[in-house]
Amino acid sequence: MSVVTVCPYCGTGCQIVIEGSKGQRVSGYSLSPVNHGKLCVKGYSGLTYNFSDDRLRYPLIRSNGEFRRVSWEEALDYASKRLLEIIRKYGADAVAFQSSAKCTNEENYLMQKMARLVGTNNIDHCARSCHSPTVAGLVSTLGAGAATGSIESLGDSKTFFIIGSNTTEQHPIIGAKIIEERDRGKNLIVADPRRTKLADIASIYIQFRPGTDVALLNSMMFVIVNEGLQDSKFIEERTKGFPALSREVEKYDPVLMEAVTGAPSDLVIKAARIIAEERPAAILYAMGITQHIHGTENVQSISNLALLTGNIGKRGSGIFPLRGQNNVQGSSDMGALSEWYPGYVRVEENDVERIEKLWGRKLPRKRGLALSEMFEAAADGKLKAIYLMGENPLVTEASVADVERGLDNLELFIVQDIFMTLTAGKAHVVFPASTSLEKEGTFTNTERRIQKVNKVFDPPGEAKPDWWILKEMGMRICGMRNYSSPEEIFNEIRTVVKNYSGATYQNIYPIGKQWPINENAPEGTEILHATAFPIGRAEFKVIQYRSPAESVDEYFDLIMTTGRNYYHWHSGTMSRRTDILERESPEPYIEINIKDAQRLGIRNGQRVTVKSRHGSMSIKASLTDSIPEGVVFAPFHFEEARVNKLVGNELDPVAKIPEFKVVPVRLIP
């Protein structure tokens, strides 16, 4: 047996070849334009979670505080009956649906459709906590909230500017591509509070204070405008709003901004000149940019820099938001967001009428609750039921105490997952789902490539594919069609999402195609915005630097920033059930600058208490010189040290994302 499918971890979308009845051999697919046969440790060694003894195998209903095994019919009938009772009693907006970037396009499409047919826009997924600012920011400036080029096109770049991304750990195959290009003599500029592997080999490394991204980017644009390095022809022909931007960035002299950003002005000036002059230049970013209460403005500032230098619409140039989970791009494309219908149709727009005709139903036109708002609404009694698929918010979401209070206050909590996670343990009904290795469908990766996912193994016990469970629930609660296969669902997606209209299961296999795929671009579109923007002229946004939600003081005197490490992913649901990955990174830790540790009397490996204004936790100290003084870093994969207990509930006013990257804390030995 040999099956080509897609890696279930990060948004890079590496294609893998699995051989053997239990996946005894995993290799990279050599024909893939994404990974060219290469894989990281998670691709090679991270799939054994599929055969874990912890897998959910049978439907469960909670009775008298204990789960009991039931039949599928009983579980589906019970869950749908209770959900309908709540809708009839309190209204459709008393229920919410939480979708999953680990699931296929077809499954995310069904879940958001179910929510809308029920009558609510309370549908969201983890993009809210990672890349919702990318969607909001880039749609507002360029007209499309996605990467503007391909991974392969990075081979034509002369300059790479990486900000807020530890690429070699979070997206290792893309990180390896950058290293290869650097070895060929390309310019590499890295801006990050932490000294990463790429920072060590960069032409210029700018270490700056967490949360000062706008000030840094504006100071770079100050240099470009002040020295006349902008692409005036591009600006005149294809953009609007430049005069206002020019006036704003005049306030951000890099010398003056040193006091704000901590970034040496000479390095900022050199970096700005290289980005403007050594073109094409590609800008890559991840959650170091987005996970802020000013995340949308951070993304808009990146767009400003690309437009200012004409680094967009050409091979080797552009903006590359590196997506977190394997199908964050696709889940967003499918409309699993509270303010967007499929294909990024705003819930208030007239184009919703087109979807209403296709679905044969009047649809809600009011923005729903974002993921970051649902748990507070549940705690306040406004939300009575949540149907969650494939996520673990008790580990991954901000203000975990609020999440817990919200879940405990629900009248009905339905969880659909592959493991009994910390979150699933609070459910009233648990549906056992299939992994992506046990079903078919499509994922859309970080470069907009729609890729076919193929079934390799049978699910354990009575576990079912998520699309089947959603279809059965949808038929019961809102009259959804009795879909016979994922392909039938995908063919409906093609009628709703214009960028997918020309894609079929047949023509995207084996290596996928980048949307938009339509009659004008039957082979897909590698480079966006080559001749025109969807909104006509791209728009510069005037962005003023504003401080993060919280600041340090005499007591909370350190800034904690959070993220991932190389061996684990998200809440660790999969990676921590993989022997090799868990062996390499078995326990939580917090990185502390050596000088800070000496000042506080903390030894390497010592357990410390970390307190914020929102909570506290105990964790092992890891001393390093890769973190600047005054900053600490902790990965969020470990449920035994839930880092997000320390994160507050302040939100970006547009994208509704919390402030994960700037959390004032105190360390107590």
The string of pLDDT tens digits covering residues 76-108 is: 999 999 999 999 999 999 999 999 999 999 999
Name the average pLDDT for the chain. 96
Find residue 518's DSSP bridge partners: 521
The confidence band for 198, taking pLDDT boundaries of 50, 70 and 90, is very high
Q: To 5 degrees, how large is the angle CA 653–CA 127–CA 331?
A: 130
**How many angstroms separate the first and last alpha carbons of the chain?**
54
Distance CA 147, CA 453 (A): 21
Helix axes 213-226, 254-261, angle to 10 degrees: 170
At what angle are helices 105-118 and 466-478 packed, to 10 degrees?
10
**3-state DSSP assignment of residue 427:** coil
Q: What architecture (CATH level 2) is domain 2-51?
A: Single Sheet (2.20)
More confident residue, 200 or 398: 200
Q: Would you state the structure tokens that stand for residue 15, as one six-digit string?
A: 């294609």
What tens digit of pLDDT does each residue of 244-302 get? 999 999 999 999 999 999 999 999 999 999 999 999 999 999 999 999 999 999 999 99
Query: How is the beta sheet containing 449-453 ordered, strand by strand?
Result: 441-444, 449-453, 513-514
Query: In the sheet where 412-417 sits, what is the strand order?
Result: 66-69, 60-63, 429-432, 412-417, 385-389, 95-98, 123-124
Assess whether pLDDT exceeds 70 at residue 657: yes
Three-class DSSP category at 66? strand
Residue whose token pair is 């490490």: 565
Contact by Cβ (8 Å): 74, 59:
yes
Residues pairing with 162 in the sheet: 190, 284
**Which CATH number is 132-322 given?**
3.40.228.10
Q: Find the helix or strand (DSSP H, E) in which 317 lies.
A: none
With vertex at residue 101, the alpha carbon angle to CA 616 and CA 123, rounded to the nearest 5 degrees, is 85
Chain position carrying tokens 């047919």: 117
Q: Give the type of residue at 476.
A: R
Where do we find the tokens 């047949």? Answer: 506
- 554 vs 265, 557, 665, 666, CA distance in Å? 28, 6, 11, 9
For residue 18, with 0-12 CB atoms within 10 Å meaning exposed, 13-18 middle and 19 or more buried, which class applies? buried
pLDDT score recorded for residue 75 = 98
Q: What is the CATH number of domain 558-668?
A: 2.40.40.20
Q: Tell whether the model's pLDDT for residue 597 goes beyond 70.
A: yes
Around Cβ 653, how many Cβ atoms within 10 Å?
A: 10
For the chain, state the CA radius of gyration: 24
Across residues 329-337, what is the average pLDDT?
Answer: 97
Whether 424 and 54 have beta carbons less than 8 Å apart is answered as no
Strands (E), 274-346: 281-285, 318-321, 340-341, 345-346
Task: State yes or no: pLDDT of 14 exceeds 80.
Answer: yes
pLDDT over 70 (residue 23): no
419 phi, psi to nearest 5 deg: -135, 160
CB 273 within 8 A of CB 265: no
Q: How many CB atoms lie within 10 A of CB 178?
A: 26
H or E element at residue 200: helix 197-201
Please say if the pLDDT value at position 645 is more than 80. yes
Question: CA 318: distance to chain centroid?
Answer: 19
- What is the per-residue burial (b if ≥16 Cβ within 10 Å, else e) of 614-651? bbebebebbbbebbbebbbbbbbbbbebbbbbbbbbbb
Which one is the CATH code of 60-126+329-437+461-495: 3.40.50.740, 1.10.260.40, 3.40.47.10, 3.40.50.720? Answer: 3.40.50.740
SS3 assignment, position 485: coil
Beta partners for residue 5, in sequence order = 16
Asked if residue 218 has pLDDT above 90, the reply is: yes
pLDDT digits (tens, 9 = 90+) for 525-579: 999 999 999 999 999 999 999 999 899 999 999 999 999 889 988 888 999 999 9
Q: pLDDT tens, 142-177?
A: 999 999 999 999 999 999 999 999 999 999 999 999
Lowest mean pLDDT among 122-131, 141-150, 316-325: 122-131
* Residue 336 contacts residue 326 (beta carbons within 8 Å): no
Q: Structural domain boundaries of the chain?
A: 2-51, 60-126+329-437+461-495, 132-322, 558-668
Helix (H, G, I), strand (E, B) or coil at 438: helix
Q: How far is CA 367 from CA 75, 165, 292, 333, in A?
A: 31, 31, 21, 17
The residue behind tokens 């893309």 is 174
Residue with tokens 């209460």: 293
Q: How far is CA 360 from CA 117, 206, 355, 357, 481, in A?
A: 10, 54, 8, 5, 11
| DSSP designation for 516 | P
pLDDT at 401: 87
At 60, list the tokens.
């469960």
Percent of the chain's residues with pLDDT above 70:
100
